[in-house]
Structure formats: C-alpha cells, structure tokens
Amino acid sequence: GENVEQHPSTLSVQEGDSAVIKCTYSDSASNYFPWYKQELGKRPQLIIDIRSNVGEKKDQRIAVTLNKTAKHFSLHITETQPEDSAVYFCAASMAAGNKLTFGGGTRVLVKP
C-alpha cells in the first residue's frame, strides 16, 4: 500500500518568513495530493491540492510543487502569520475523493 513520509515534524518560523514542508510517497499510482491544516480538536481543513498532471499550484500565500518522477511534493507558505500556526498534513490518494494516506504531520509555530 501507499506510504507517505513528511518532514519536518516540527517547524518554528518567525512571522513573515517562509515555511516549507516536504513529503514523499511510495505508490506511483497516486495522482492526487492534498494538504490539510488542522487546529487542535478540529477537522482537517483542505488548504490546497495538486493533481499529478500539474507540477505547481499557487493560491495566494500558499503553493504546492509536485515531482512525480521523484515521488515528492512540498508545501510552501510565504509571509507567515501567527494564524498559520497549526498542524499540517500532506496526503496521497489515487484520486480526489478516494481514501487518503496521510503523512505524519508537521506542527508549525509562527512566532510574532
């Protein structure tokens, strides 16, 4: 089955700096790679996703890159703000709406 590794497990950045989280996956059949933000006790919130036919996608301060050959994808958050502090999860799936395999999560702390 699919295995998703995520690094780092914790990330502390100064407000205004960028944050980068990296994930690798094992199953070449995976084609859908969402990123979720989860606050304590809440449901995961989809913040951006990318499909395998695209190498990069951007939405305001958030961008995701995908290297299908190397089987890795990354989340980039620019101009970080304290409200970006949360746990971020990457995931992989064969398609949107299919079962997700999650990475281990990254706890991001943005220091004011």
Partner 1 sequence: GAVVSQHPSRVICKSGTSVKIECRSLDFQATTMFWYRQFPKQSLMLMATSNEGSKATYEQGVEKDKFLINHASLTLSTLTVTSAHPEDSSFYICSARAGRMNTEAFFGQGTRLTVV
> Is residue 101 within the footprint of partner 1 (CB under 8 A)?
yes
Q: Are strands 56-59 and 62-67 parallel, antiparallel or unpaired?
A: antiparallel
According to DSSP, residue 90 is labeled E
Q: d(Cα 44, Cα 53) in Å, to the nearest integer?
A: 25
> Is residue 96 within the footprint of partner 1 (CB under 8 A)?
yes
At closest approach, how far in Å is the CB of 31 from partner 1? 9
81 sits in which H/E element? none
> Is residue 43 within the footprint of partner 1 (CB under 8 A)?
yes
Nearer to partner 1, 38 or 78 (CB): 38
According to DSSP, residue 93 is labeled B
Contacts with partner 1, residue ranges (CB under 8 A)? 32, 41-44, 46, 89, 94-105
